[in-house]
Amino acid sequence: MSKAEARQQAESLLVQMRLKGIHNCYPNEISSGMSRRVEIARAMMNDPKVLLMDEPYRGTDALTKTVMHKHLLDVYDASKKTIFFITHDLEEAIFLGDRVYVMTTRPGQIKKVIHIDMPRPRDFRILSSEHYRKLKLEAIEAVHEEAKKAFEAGERELA
């Protein structure tokens, strides 16, 4: 695309991410939540088929994380892009996903696939539903089993 088209696409994505007017800001002039939304906009710039997000909200406070979840759901609802989201946060995985893959301890393999059959668009109210609670319990049980195996084997997470 031309430079003008790229600028127009970038500005459109910034508006979609509710970041209108920050295009002249330096990274240290925006909050961490805004910075994460800029990262998503930048990734969407080339119209990818799949958006890979590896622990994108690590180190963010609970309030920022909730706002970011809403933004990501909005991006998904608007684009219908496949988002491959890697997280250790089960609540986050269930709230955002359509499928949650629980991995085994080393060697990492798929242990269980949990189909998240909650309607879209989603909002925070589903977090208090009985169905959400059951899905979370299913995920916790699968993860706990693997955590116990890892502990017994003396494994630790490598940096």
Domain ranges of the chain: 3-152
What local confidence, expressed as pLDDT, does residue 65 receive? 87
* CATH superfamily to which 3-152 belongs: P-loop containing nucleotide triphosphate hydrolases (3.40.50.300)
Backbone angles phi, psi at 19, to 5 degrees: -125, 25
Backbone angles phi, psi at 117, to 5 degrees: -100, 50
What local confidence, expressed as pLDDT, does residue 158 receive? 55
What local confidence, expressed as pLDDT, does residue 159 receive? 45
CA dist list (Å): 30 to 4, 37, 38, 122:
25, 11, 10, 27
What local confidence, expressed as pLDDT, does residue 57 receive? 86
Q: Are strands 82-86 and 50-54 parallel, antiparallel or unpaired?
A: parallel
Rounded-to-integer distance, Cα 1 and Cα 19, Å? 22
Say which residue the tokens 């309030």 belong to: 63
Print pLDDT tens along the chain (159 aa): 899 999 899 898 888 888 888 988 998 999 888 888 888 889 889 889 999 999 988 878 888 888 889 888 988 898 889 999 999 999 999 999 999 999 998 888 999 999 999 999 998 899 999 999 999 999 999 999 988 888 888 876 654
Contact 110, 142 (CB under 8 A): no
